[in-house]
């Protein structure tokens, strides 16, 4: 970093590696409601959702810009805590907050621009091929369940989001395609299918459903975990010849095979224990869907 926060613009020294650039917003009353998280957690979360997109391309976050919209009533200590939470999360991932902007607005809104670097191959959504094995990191459904409970007025906190940056870099060496699970596994796999012009099948019985989700929803937990979203785990398509190399990776987190990529028109099929397709009411989170 040649010029950090406080000047008209930040300046960084260019590197020879590909840069990855992404932006995302967290908006009060859209993505969260007042009181769902502490300001520091919200800062960490704002970093994590953007870092997840960089991880899904096989990169590591390096530089962050934050634009904050703040209601006039917000205490300064809360804003400080939010920014501190963001900076700490960034630093732990090897990134630096290098600038930003503050404006008064009707809601709290945090817009992050994150710049990352890809140490190796950049992995997109468009490389999946029929016969690829589908894997997902971590577990699914815990945050979706917490959001549903909080939205229903119950007490609780949003679970911390996973950091899959190191896993994304390792998986990028072997993957045909990769995406992070933000809108729901089925919906995000649908994005991969459309970008790659392939179909995909998920065996619901194989999904790594979070314990809390399994306990709360019983038989319905698998479909919920496949559609709820907010998991920020990595979904990856691995060609068969890379499976031995995959088994040798030291990922440091759970990795579960959940299905296959198939020939056909872009579509995602969720299969029950008998191998029959399950109809799902709704594909995942859509900002512009009618309630
Ligand atoms: Mg994404």
| Digit-coded pLDDT (tens) for 211-225 | 999 999 999 999 999
- Dihedral sign (CA 39, 41, 45, 47): positive
pLDDT beyond 60 at 59: yes
pTM summary value = 0.93
Lowest mean pLDDT among 1-5, 51-55, 281-285: 281-285
By CB atoms closer than 10 A (0-12, 13-18, 19+), residue 282 is exposed
pLDDT beyond 90 at 197: yes
How far apart are the CA of 78 and the centre of ligand 1, in A? 28
> How is residue 223 written in tokens?
């479909």
pLDDT value of position 291? 41
How far apart are the CA of 75 and the centre of ligand 1, in A? 32
How far apart are the CA of 89 and the centre of ligand 1, in A? 18
Mapping DSSP onto H, E and C, the string for 218-246 reads HHHHHHHHHHCCCCCCEEEEECHHHHHHH
How far apart are the CA of 81 and the centre of ligand 1, in A? 26
Rounded Cα distance, 50 and 176, in Å? 22
How far apart are the CA of 191 and the centre of ligand 1, in A? 10
Task: Summarize pLDDT for 127-161 with one digit per residue, the tens.
Answer: 999 999 999 999 999 999 999 998 888 888 888 89
> How is residue 24 written in tokens?
């995302």
How far apart are the CA of 7 and the centre of ligand 1, in A? 31
How far apart are the CA of 181 and the centre of ligand 1, in A? 7
Task: Summarize pLDDT for 217-254 with one digit per residue, the tens.
Answer: 999 999 999 999 899 999 999 999 999 999 999 999 99
- Dihedral sign (CA 216, 27, 29, 36): positive
């Amino acid at each position: 970093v040649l010029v950090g926060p406080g000047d008209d613009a930040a300046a960084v020294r260019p590197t020879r590696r590909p840069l990855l650039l992404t932006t995302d917003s967290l908006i009060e009353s859209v993505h969260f409601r007042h009181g769902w998280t502490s300001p520091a957690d919200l800062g960490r979360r704002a970093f994590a959702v953007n870092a997840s997109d960089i991880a899904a391309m096989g990169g590591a976050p390096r530089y962050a810009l934050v634009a904050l919209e703040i209601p006039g009533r917000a205490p300064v200590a809360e804003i400080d805590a939010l920014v501190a939470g963001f900076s700490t999360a960034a630093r732990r991932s090897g990134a630096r907050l290098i600038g930003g902007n503050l404006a008064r607005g009707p809601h709290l809104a945090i817009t992050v621009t994150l710049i990352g670097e890809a140490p190796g191959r950049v992995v997109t959504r468009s490389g999946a091929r029929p016969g690829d094995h589908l894997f997902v990191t971590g577990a699914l459904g815990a945050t979706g369940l917490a959001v549903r409970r909080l939205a229903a007025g119950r007490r609780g906190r949003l679970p911390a989001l996973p950091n899959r940056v190191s896993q994304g870099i390792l998986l990028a060496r072997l993957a045909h395609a990769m995406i992070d699970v933000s809108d729901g596994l089925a919906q995000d796999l649908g994005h991969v299918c459309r970008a790659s012009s392939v179909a995909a099948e998920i065996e619901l019985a194989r999904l790594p459903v979070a314990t809390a989700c399994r306990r709360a929803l019983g038989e319905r937990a698998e479909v919920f975990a496949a559609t709820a979203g907010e998991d920020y785990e990595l979904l990856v398509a691995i060609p068969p010849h890379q499976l031995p190399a995959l088994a040798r990776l030291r990922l440091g987190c759970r990795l579960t095979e959940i299905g296959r990529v198939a020939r056909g028109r872009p579509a995602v099929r969720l299969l029950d224990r008998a191998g029959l397709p399950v109809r799902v009411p709704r594909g995942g989170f859509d900002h512009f869907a009618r309630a």
